[in-house]
Amino acid sequence: MKVIGINGSYNSNGNCAFLLNTILGDLEQKGCQTEIFSAYEAIVDCKQPFCISCSSPCNKSCYGPKLTKLFEEMKAADAVVFASPVYFGTMSGELKCLFDKTRDIRANNALLGKLGIAVACGASKYGGQEKTVDAIHDCMLVDGMTIVGPSSSGCAGHMGVCAQMNASEDEFAISRAHSAADRLYEELTK
């Protein structure tokens, strides 16, 4: 089983990366193959980083090699974990740009039914994390993905993994990240 993480933060060693590493580390211990990709690197590598609705389906000539590789990895994965910092109450621009560019793979049902988890980290306790998770869920649903929440073993949980920075010190968020990995693994092995 292959699970990829997409870091919607510019910071490759920050809070989102920490939470992705926690979730994917648990999945690796269960035997999954994992890898983390940067939404920022994939988007800035594009000839046209922002979707301008230039054609339908997407004009893939505006894709860069890193975005093309990331889309191939997304199609090949059994599950995708999306992580974003909270920017003005929603996901980062980099992650939104990535979702905007999924029009072509959505048209080919490449993500239809694929499992996914949303992760958000904000600067304060009520800093917009659940709104960010909602926004990520909305994009996942448009792409036809199946959302997996972090509840496991009959325990109800949040809609996604929500943390307050510094995520490495947020014990509740870390416990939800472990629970999300368990829940995703349950779904992967059904």
Cβ(111)–Cβ(74) below 8 Å: yes
Question: What per-residue confidence (pLDDT) applies to 57?
Answer: 66
Question: What per-residue confidence (pLDDT) applies to 56?
Answer: 67
Give pTM, 2 decimals.
0.94
User: For 16-71, how does the pLDDT look when each residue is reduced to its tens digit (9 = 90+)?
Assistant: 999 999 999 999 999 999 999 999 999 999 887 887 777 666 767 778 899 999 99
Question: What per-residue confidence (pLDDT) applies to 70?
Answer: 97
- Which residues does the chain have with pLDDT short of 70? 55-57, 59, 152-158
Q: Which of 30, 31, 102 is nearest to 67 (CA)?
A: 102
As a whole number of Å, the end-to-end CA separation of the chain is 12
Question: What per-residue confidence (pLDDT) applies to 84?
Answer: 98
